């Protein structure tokens, strides 16, 4: 039996979600307002800052792709396009088989001269050499297979929210698209090296350290695909 007090937070959460869905009846999910993408600063062990080398009497600047100005993201507030190209394939097969058989026997033909008293204690008769016997058999067999294929291809513009002491850039971006009453939400964040940014100011997702990529949706179609709150609760608490 679930305590009533434990159900109160779940009911409150369900009520909040239901209220939000009720407010969107007839007009679909609403786009979020544009906010400052800078969140809590990231703190990581960093080497000491090093000054960029300068060349006397030279128009060329180290790290630049042009004589005028490097167009790639380099400081807080700059934009960089993150290319998400995920093609994951996984296949796993497991097979386990186990068999075990045990047989045990125990007897006491001689025990401090008390073997003559066995007949008085057990009038039905007893064989002292076979006082106890036991046997057991067990076997188990299991098979499992997993096959998964995922493909995601996206482009999203991210904002540089922080520059780390070693020159790496912390980026974060979010993109929302609403089609009819269905919302698609894409979020990307991570840490990139300036030298991994291509000349067209793009960077691949596999160059992001601490990458966080989320692609999901909400709306009428997504709502139908999810089980009800009561069913989700029962799936969590029921041991069967």
Beta strands 79-106; 209-219: pairing state: unpaired
Share of the chain above pLDDT 70, in %: 65
pLDDT of residue 69: 64
- Distances in whole angstroms, Cα of residue 203 to Cα of each of 16, 81, 121, 178, 214: 38, 6, 89, 26, 17
**Is residue 205, in this structure, part of any structural domain at all?**
no
Under 8 Å between Cβ of 213 and 231: no
* pLDDT single digits (tens) 178-215: 888 888 888 999 999 999 999 899 999 999 999 898 88
**Is residue 32, in this structure, part of any structural domain at all?**
no
* pLDDT single digits (tens) 59-88: 666 655 566 666 788 888 889 999 998 888
Distance CA 52, CA 173 (A): 29
Among the residue ranges 7-16, 19-28, 103-112, the one predicted with the least confidence is 7-16
pLDDT of residue 13: 58
pLDDT of residue 2: 47
Helical axes 4-23 vs 229-237, angle rounded to 10°: 150
Which 3 state secondary structure label does DSSP give 86? strand
Distance CA 130, CA 123 (A): 16
**Is residue 56, in this structure, part of any structural domain at all?**
no
In this structure, the number of other CB atoms found within 10 A of the CB of residue 196 comes to 16
Highest mean pLDDT among 33-42, 164-173, 219-228: 164-173
**Is residue 5, in this structure, part of any structural domain at all?**
no
Q: CA-based diameter of the chain, in Å? A: 118
**Is residue 46, in this structure, part of any structural domain at all?**
no
**Is residue 238, in this structure, part of any structural domain at all?**
no
Q: What would the 3-class secondary structure string for 40-60 be?
A: CCCCCCCCCCCCCCCCCCCCC
**Is residue 140, in this structure, part of any structural domain at all?**
yes
Q: How many domains does the chain have?
A: 1
pTM of the model: 0.58
* pLDDT single digits (tens) 134-183: 788 888 888 888 888 878 888 999 999 889 999 899 999 998 888 888 88
**Is residue 112, in this structure, part of any structural domain at all?**
yes
Of the candidates 25, 21, 40, 29, which has an alpha carbon nearest to the alpha carbon of residue 185? 29
Distance CA 41, CA 146 (A): 39
pLDDT of residue 1: 45
Sheet architecture: strand order including 209-219: 202-204, 79-106, 132-163, 169-179, 182-192, 209-219
Which 3 state secondary structure label does DSSP give 75? coil
Higher pLDDT, 220 or 193: 193
Average pLDDT over residues 36-52: 67
Distance CA 139, CA 97 (A): 8
* pLDDT single digits (tens) 90-147: 888 888 888 888 887 777 666 666 666 666 666 666 666 666 777 888 888 888 888 8
Instruction: Give the domain range for residue 100.
Output: 92-145
């Amino acid at each position: 039996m679930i305590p009533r007090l434990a159900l109160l937070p779940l009911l409150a959460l369900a009520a909040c979600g239901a209220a939000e869905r009720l407010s969107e009846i007839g007009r679909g999910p609403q786009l979020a307002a544009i906010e400052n993408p800078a969140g809590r600063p990231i703190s990581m062990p960093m080497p000491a800052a090093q000054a960029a080398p300068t060349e006397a009497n030279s128009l060329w600047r180290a790290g630049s792709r042009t004589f005028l100005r490097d167009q790639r993201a380099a400081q807080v507030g700059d934009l960089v396009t993150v290319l998400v190209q995920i093609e994951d394939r996984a296949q796993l097969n497991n097979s386990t088989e186990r068999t075990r058989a045990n047989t045990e026997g125990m007897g006491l033909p001689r025990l401090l001269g008390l073997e003559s008293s066995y007949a008085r204690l057990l009038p039905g008769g007893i064989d002292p050499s076979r006082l106890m016997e036991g046997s057991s058999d067990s076997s188990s067999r299991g098979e499992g297979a997993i096959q998964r294929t995922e493909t995601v291809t996206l482009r999203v513009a991210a904002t540089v929210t922080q520059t780390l002491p070693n020159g790496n850039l912390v980026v974060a971006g979010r993109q929302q698209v609403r089609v009819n009453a269905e919302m698609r939400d894409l979020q990307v964040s991570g840490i990139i090296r300036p030298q991994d940014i291509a000349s067209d100011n793009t960077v691949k997702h596999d160059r992001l350290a601490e990458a966080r990529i989320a692609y999901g949706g909400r709306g009428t179609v997504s709502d139908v695909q999810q089980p009800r709150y009561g069913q989700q609760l029962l799936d969590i608490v029921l041991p069967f």
